């Protein structure tokens, strides 16, 4: 592995392909999970229960760090995920409770894999090249978010749940093979593990990190309005079935990738990551409002482009700040804690919004959540820019080379 600050990530092509395939598998499963649970139970409460089972492991991993009680490599963890899917296939994918149980098991490893991959990328990349590396990570992950839902929606419609879970197992095995090609240690950071309050202090020691995470926690509270509301709208208002839901999620991913590529071609783009962060969340909230007001499926897809085109910059901004300000041996735990905070608020939002959806129309809940997201972002963005800050600047692009 290269020394931070000297070279790019070794085996970068394999790394980014592994990220893309891993995210494709994860989003493939989430799409199949939500649609199958909805089809089998017709209940937003059961959908919320399924997502809760997937998110609960992030509480443990975010508190203890990705390596607590479990060594191993990214490839080994992904093989275990494939084994879980094999068990799902045998147990019967036509029962909602089996999908929910699989969500809990897969969530346990997903909660470890993503922060470890982010940490590996940051530790292996020169400090002033980390914004570019983070942007490439977003392009790879968002590409997976395009392919996964589209495959899941199509396979559910064409081959049913059995063909779907077999394809998911194949995706996970492919990701495992790619992770084997990426040089990485066998993770075991017990000596550098933080207490949760130390990790929280490290995460919020800068004004931007602190404000950024407040905004992200509030917006994640409202996010389940989209996660739970869109399948209901696809089924009850737009009547496009599983393939329509897969297309909807894939359009979100396509727009996000295009937005990232456009920004990366803008001069000095890394200098504007902080204002881009707030702008991105405001656009997402506005998109939620317009999707909820859309009278037909095509219009909703167009509004999805608006909602998602800037969304990767949220991750690029925060990941770059963490990569440049947190010691390398602590980054994996910090990334895990970040997922804990986000998913913790998501769980609260799931509980609240699933109850609201049993009494109110999905479109109304989506519009209200979008208004909340825009209002929270504008308030905290204005609060941040009213103050004088001592946060270090993000290192700029070297224009003579076009590289960081």
Please report, for the domain that includes residue 271, its CATH number: 1.20.1250.20
Tell me what the mean pLDDT of segment 112-139 comes to.
80
Q: Where are the alpha helices (DSSP H) in 294-399?
A: 297-308, 312-325, 331-357, 362-386
Structure confidence by residue, pLDDT tens digits, 160-174: 888 888 898 899 999
Structure confidence by residue, pLDDT tens digits, 67-107: 554 556 788 878 887 887 788 777 777 788 888 888 888 88
Number of residues in the chain? 404
What's the rounded Cα separation, in Å, for the pair 62 and 254? 29
Q: What is the mean pLDDT of the chain?
A: 80
3 state SS of 403: strand
DSSP state of 154: H
pTM: 0.73
Tell me what the mean pLDDT of segment 390-396 comes to.
53
Q: Which of 8-12, 228-232, 240-244, 396-400: highest mean pLDDT?
A: 228-232
Nearest to residue 171, comparing CAs of 215, 106, 121? 106
Three-point CA angle 221, 271, 308, nearest 5°? 35
Residue 217 · residue 342 · CB < 8 Å: yes
Considering the chain, what percentage of its residues have pLDDT values greater than 90? 22
Structure confidence by residue, pLDDT tens digits, 222-232: 999 998 999 88
400 part of a folded domain: no
| Burial of residue 69, with CB atoms counted within 10 A of its CB: 0-12 exposed, 13-18 middle, 19 or more buried | exposed
Structure confidence by residue, pLDDT tens digits, 235-246: 888 888 778 888
2 part of a folded domain: no
Query: Residue 320 corresponds to which tokens in the numbers above?
Result: 């770059």
- CB within 8 A of 90, min separation 6: which ones? none
5 part of a folded domain: no
1 part of a folded domain: no
Residue 203 · residue 337 · CB < 8 Å: yes
Structure confidence by residue, pLDDT tens digits, 293-311: 998 899 999 999 989 888 8
Confidence bin at 404 (pLDDT 50/70/90): very low
- Note the pLDDT of residue 12: 80
DSSP state of 235: I
54 part of a folded domain: yes
What's the rounded Cα separation, in Å, for the pair 113 and 103? 15
- Note the pLDDT of residue 256: 84
- The range of the structural domain enclosing residue 20 comes to 12-386
71 part of a folded domain: yes
What are the distances in angstroms from CA 83 to CA 60, 90, 148, 170? 22, 11, 19, 11
Using left for φ > 0, alpha for ψ between -120 and 50, and beta otherwise, residue 72 falls in left
Predicted confidence (pLDDT) at residue 398 exceeds the cutoff of 80:
no
Nearest to residue 96, comparing CAs of 169, 32, 24, 160? 32
Please state the domain count of the chain. 1
175 part of a folded domain: yes
392 part of a folded domain: no
Only one residue has tokens 């009680």, namely 69
Strand partners, 398: 403
What's the rounded Cα separation, in Å, for the pair 52 and 277? 27
Query: Residue 143 corresponds to which tokens in the numbers above?
Result: 């590409």
- Note the pLDDT of residue 154: 87
Nearest to residue 175, comparing CAs of 82, 311, 67? 82
Predicted confidence (pLDDT) at residue 328 exceeds the cutoff of 60:
yes
């Amino acid at each position: 592995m290269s020394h931070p600050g000297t070279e790019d990530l070794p085996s970068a092509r394999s790394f980014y392909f592994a990220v893309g395939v891993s995210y494709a598998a994860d989003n493939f499963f989430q799409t199949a999970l939500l649609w199958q649970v909805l089809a089998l139970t017709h209940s937003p409460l059961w959908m919320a229960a399924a997502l809760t089972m997937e998110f609960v492991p992030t509480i443990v991993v975010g508190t203890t760090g990705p390596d607590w009680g479990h060594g191993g490599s990214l490839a080994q963890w992904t093989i275990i995920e494939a084994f879980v899917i094999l068990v799902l296939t045998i147990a019967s994918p036509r029962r909602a409770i089996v999908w929910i149980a699989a969500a809990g098991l897969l969530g346990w490893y997903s909660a470890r894999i993503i922060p470890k991959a982010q940490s590996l990328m940051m530790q292996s990349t020169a400090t002033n090249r980390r914004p570019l590396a983070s942007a490439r990570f977003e392009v790879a992950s968002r590409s997976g978010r395009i392919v996964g839902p589209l495959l899941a929606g199509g396979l559910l419609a064409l081959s049913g749940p059995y063909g779907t879970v077999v394809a998911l197992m194949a995706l996970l095995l492919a990701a495992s093979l790619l992770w084997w090609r990426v040089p990485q240690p066998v993770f075991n950071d017990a000596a550098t593990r933080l207490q949760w309050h130390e990790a929280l202090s490290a995460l919020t020691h800068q004004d931007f990190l602190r404000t950024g995470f407040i905004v992200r926690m509030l917006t994640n509270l409202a996010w389940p309005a989209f996660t739970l509301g869109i399948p209901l709208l696809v089924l009850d208002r737009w009547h496009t079935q599983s393939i329509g839901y897969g297309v909807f999620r894939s359009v979100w991913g396509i727009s996000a990738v295009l937005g990232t590529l456009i920004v990366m071609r803008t001069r000095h783009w890394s200098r504007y990551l902080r204002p881009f962060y707030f702008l991105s969340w405001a656009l997402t909230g506005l998109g939620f409002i317009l999707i909820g007001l859309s009278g037909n499926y095509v219009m909703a897809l167009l509004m999805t482009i608006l909602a998602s085109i800037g969304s990767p910059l949220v991750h690029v901004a925060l990941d770059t700040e963490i990569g440049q300000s947190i010691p390398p041996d602590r980054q994996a735990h910090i990334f895990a804690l970040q997922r804990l905070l986000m998913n913790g608020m998501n769980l609260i939002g799931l509980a609240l919004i699933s109850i609201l959806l049993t009494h109110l129309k999905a479109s109304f809940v989506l519009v209200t959540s979008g208004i909340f997201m825009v209002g929270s972002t504008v308030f905290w963005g204005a609060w941040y820019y009213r103050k004088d800050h001592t946060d270090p600047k993000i290192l700029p692009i070297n224009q003579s080379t076009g590289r960081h």
